[in-house]
Amino acid sequence: MPTALPQISTPRLLLQALEMSQAEILFSLVNEPTIADNTANIPSPYTLEVAQTFIAQMQEKYRAGGLLGLGMHLRETGELIGMVSLRINARHHYGHLGYWVAAHRRNAGYAAEAARAVMDFGFTELGLQRVGSQCFGRNQESARVMQKIGLHYEGCLREAFFKNGVYEDLLTFASVRGDWERAL
């Protein structure tokens, strides 16, 4: 695996490593309650210290082969609008896709654009066999993103995740290399 986080360009986005100077911006975006509410691992409230630690660890986590995490930046302005990630299981040639978009930038197709680019990177550059993701059953917006980028619905894991005192259903989606190659 390469040692430095890649930079991936899409028609409207630049996906790249976050800089420590972006910690306050990251903090302000992620501290919006719906971000943590719809993700498995983001704490709420989100603090500046958590943002700084997150940014500081990204390069090392990529070098260790476990996580590709990139900021979503608008190409025209450089504005940070979200994150996209691929948690990598090298032993099984699998990547778990994750993403979030700032509340004021939702419903413009940015999540799908970024997620598709990272999924493609996983298949082409990282040699993955399978890329998948999950979302809470109540998060139909995320389910639509996954279907839009070519992930196939595989089923519902009923009450599989305990979050904020509630058992959440997890909708599971994935694509394997053959599906991806046929879609090209």
Assess if residue 162 is contained within a domain: no
Supply the CATH number for residue 16's domain.
3.40.630.30
How is residue 55 annotated by DSSP?
H
Beta pairing partners, 117: none
Encode pLDDT of 134-182 as tens digits: 999 999 999 999 999 999 999 999 999 999 899 999 999 999 999 999 8
Residue type at 112? A
User: How far, in Å, CA of 61 to CA of 70, rounded?
Assistant: 12
CA distances from 135 to 11, 14, 157 (A): 26, 24, 10
For residue 22, being part of any structural domain is answered with yes
The answer to whether residue 48 sits within a structural domain is yes
Q: Report yes or no on 173 lying in a domain.
A: no
**Parent domain of 99:** 8-129
| Residue 61 counted as domain residue | yes
pLDDT in tens, 99-143: 999 999 999 999 999 999 999 999 999 999 999 999 999 999 999
Task: Report the alpha-carbon distance of residue 67 to residue 54 in Å, rounded.
Answer: 12
pLDDT at 65: 87
